[in-house]
Amino acid sequence: MILSGKGKVVSVNISARKSVKKKPVGQGCLVAGQGFEGDAHAAGWHRQVSLLALESIEKMRKMGFNVNPGDFAENITTQGLDLLSLPLGTRLKVGEEVLLEISQIGKVCHTKCAIYYQAGDCVMPREGIFARVLQGGNVKVGDEIKVLKKE
CA distance 35 to 17: 14
2-148 has which CATH code? 2.40.33.20
Helices (H), the chain: 54-62, 114-119, 124-127
Note the pLDDT tens digit of each residue in 115-150. Answer: 555 555 556 656 889 999 999 999 999 999 999 966
Indicate the pTM of the whole model. 0.87
